[in-house]
């Protein structure tokens, strides 16, 4: 595969320029700061941020506060290092400098409140998971023995849904998730499908569907389909939303007939 023009220039010994949007605290105004680093092979955004942290000197040669960000696994599993890179929400650990246009622009995801620099508060997402009871309750902590088996075909697509790492990228991409709405977002809707498909989780299926039918639930989806394009794990989010639309409609008619 022919290397990109940007990669060729970098390998010729050029520096890598970063324009980072920073914010000192939740109530302060954001500002940008520029940094330059020597190019290294296989460099990603996280390794660049680590280099800036070790030597926090901006492009003007001024010593500055180290840039704050979050990361954990560094292999696109934990979802902690979500940020906006060159206008696209994604995982910083998987963003290779060779594949990015220069200068590299790094910003925090704005769907969530900014704590400092690139660190965000994803409570909105976790509260949505609590709201739809994205877990399987058990009675006690004793050994219950092996659970019921799932058919292999169902297990395969359920495994795809279980890859969700609560990174928040789908919420950042969704135009219906913002400070003016209480839409729970595509991740929580997909998790309802996952847990309702489980033989044990199905015992609480109606509770989860009822949660989706409340204000800010599934009706908040505008079907923009940005979420499925942005998801770093390739989760079929729009398929899950369509399935839950069907199930909530069936649940609504069932409630009308029984009330």
> Under CATH, which number does the domain 123-258 receive?
1.10.1060.10
For the domain made up of 5-120, give the CATH fold: Ubiquitin-like (UB roll) (3.10.20)
Could you give the percent of the chain with pLDDT greater than 90? 84
Q: What contacts 24+ positions apart, CB below 8 Å, involve 110-115?
A: 110/84, 110/172, 111/168, 111/171, 111/172, 111/174, 111/177, 111/178, 112/168, 112/171, 112/172, 113/26, 114/23, 114/26, 114/30, 115/25, 115/26, 115/68
Dist CA 81 CA 166 (whole Å): 11
Pick the residue with more confidence: 241 or 258? 241
Q: Report yes or no on whether pTM surpasses 0.75.
A: yes
Q: How confident is the model at residue 209 (pLDDT cuts 50, 70, 90)?
A: very high
Q: What pLDDT, in 10s, does the model give residues 128-139?
A: 999 999 998 777
Stretch 44-68: mean pLDDT, rounded?
96
Q: What pLDDT, in 10s, does the model give residues 212-241?
A: 999 999 999 999 999 999 999 999 999 999
Q: Which residues contact 34 (CB under 8 A, 6 or more apart)?
A: 17, 18, 19, 20, 58, 59, 60, 103
What does pLDDT average to over the chain?
A: 92
Dist CA 235 CA 167 (whole Å): 12
32: three-class secondary structure by DSSP: strand
Dist CA 253 CA 203 (whole Å): 19
The strand ranges marked E within the chain are: 15-22, 31-38, 82-85, 88-91, 104-107, 114-116, 119-120
Q: How confident is the model at residue 259 (pLDDT cuts 50, 70, 90)?
A: confident
Q: What pLDDT, in 10s, does the model give residues 73-106?
A: 999 999 999 999 999 999 999 999 999 999 999 9
- Report CA 77 to chain centroid distance, whole Å: 11
237: three-class secondary structure by DSSP: helix
Q: How confident is the model at residue 1 (pLDDT cuts 50, 70, 90)?
A: very low
Dist CA 190 CA 134 (whole Å): 10
Residue 97: closest CA among 19, 36, 43: 43
Query: What integer pLDDT is reported at residue 136 of this predicted model?
Result: 84
Where are the domains positioned within the chain? 5-120, 123-258
Query: What integer pLDDT is reported at residue 222 of this predicted model?
Result: 93
In this model, does residue 142 exceed pLDDT 90? no
- Report CA 217 to chain centroid distance, whole Å: 19
Place of tokens 């976790």: 126
């Amino acid at each position: 595969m022919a290397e990109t023009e940007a990669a060729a220039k970098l390998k010729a010994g050029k520096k890598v320029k970063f324009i980072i949007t920073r914010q000192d605290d939740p109530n302060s105004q954001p500002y940008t700061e520029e940094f330059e680093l020597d190019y290294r092979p296989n460099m990603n955004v996280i390794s660049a941020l680590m280099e800036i942290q070790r030597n926090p000197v901006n492009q003007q040669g001024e010593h500055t506060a180290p840039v704050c960000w979050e990361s954990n696994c560094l292999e696109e599993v934990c979802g902690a290092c979500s940020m906006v890179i060159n206008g696209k929400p994604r995982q910083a650990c998987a963003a290779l400098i060779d594949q990015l246009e220069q200068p590299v622009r790094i910003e925090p995801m704005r769907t969530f409140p900014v704590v400092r620099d690139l660190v965000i508060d994803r409570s909105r997402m976790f509260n949505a998971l609590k709201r739809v009871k994205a877990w399987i309750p058990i009675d006690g902590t004793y050994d219950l023995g092996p659970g019921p088996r799932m058919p292999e075909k169902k297990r395969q697509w359920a495994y795809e849904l279980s890859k969700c790492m609560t990174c928040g990228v789908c919420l950042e991409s969704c135009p219906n998730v913002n400070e003016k709405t209480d839409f729970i977002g595509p991740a929580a809707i997909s998790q309802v499908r996952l847990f309702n498909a489980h033989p044990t989780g199905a015992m609480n299926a109606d509770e989860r569907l009822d949660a989706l039918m409340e204000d800010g639930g599934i009706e908040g989806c505008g079907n923009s389909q940005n979420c499925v394009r942005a998801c770093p794990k390739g989760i079929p989010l729009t398929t899950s939303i369509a399935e839950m639309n069907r199930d909530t409609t069936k649940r609504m008619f069932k409630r009308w007939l029984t009330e």
